[in-house]
Amino acid sequence: MTAASKDQHSVTLPEGVSLQRVARVLLDAWEAGSHQWTGTPLQLREGPKPAPSAPAPQDALDLFRLPHERQVDDRLVGGMAMLTYVKGRNTEDVDLLLSVAALAKIPELKIEEQNDFFARGKFRSIRVDLLLTANPLFKIVAEKFATTHRFAEWEMPTASIEGLIALKLYVLPSLYRQFDMDRAAIYENDITMLIARHSPKLEPLTALASQYAEPGDKKELPKIISECCERAKRLQQRAGR
């Protein structure tokens, strides 16, 4: 499935932009990170924690270059993929969708946590979150809901608008259960913005996510989509669309 056409004048990562912009996005997020805040209640209670190292621009470039040169079959997802469709969305890491076999071709990516469907690690100074195609929904997104985004250096396989919505819709109920309200709010807003700007067909995506969701989560998905649609409608009305 191909993505809807993009408005290149109102996205952070338009077609043809250099990967240097990706490095700038990561550095901007690091500079605004909570480790920069002083005198917060958490710091006063627990003391300051070591600040994470700043993401090096060359590391970000190499993270994209090495998989391209090694013909790794991966997809850009998460916040960085969102920035090919929207503007101003903050993200501190790079999210990739790939198989375990593909991951093995990037030994420079040091895995810190991993389970059947997710992994987290670092590529030098860059934080990387991984979605693994051992999950059947992730595999479908990789195969059927992908497009390409043309950077100045080369084209990067990227999740389509529909693919991003399916992934976020699938993950959201687990964020609610974990009381991870910060990430849940970001994911809800991502879905809302994609609906408001691109008006994708939502029924097939809800059905797809429901097919692979936990039994207790299935009833939540139509509610999530309905609430996001209502917010998207208000945004469209206020923008005169």
Q: What percentage of the chain has pLDDT greater than the value 90?
A: 83
Total count of domains within the chain: 2
**R_g of the chain, CA atoms, integer Å:** 18
Look at residue 45 and tell me if it is in a domain: no
Same domain, 153 and 204: no
Same domain, 208 and 130: no
Same domain, 29 and 148: yes
Same domain, 144 and 29: yes
Instruction: State residue 3's pLDDT score.
Output: 43
78 Cβ contact partners less than 8 Å away, ≥ 6 residues apart: 91, 93, 94, 95, 129
Look at residue 39 and tell me if it is in a domain: no
Q: What pTM does this model have? A: 0.90
Instruction: State residue 90's pLDDT score.
Output: 86
Domain of residue 149, residue span: 10-33+52-159
Look at residue 56 and tell me if it is in a domain: yes
Nearest to 74 by CA among 141, 125, 120, 127: 141
Same domain, 192 and 102: no
Residue that is last in its domain, among 159, 177, 201: 159
In which residue are the tokens 């029924």 written? 203
Same domain, 123 and 166: no
Residue 49's pLDDT band, with cuts at 50, 70 and 90, is low
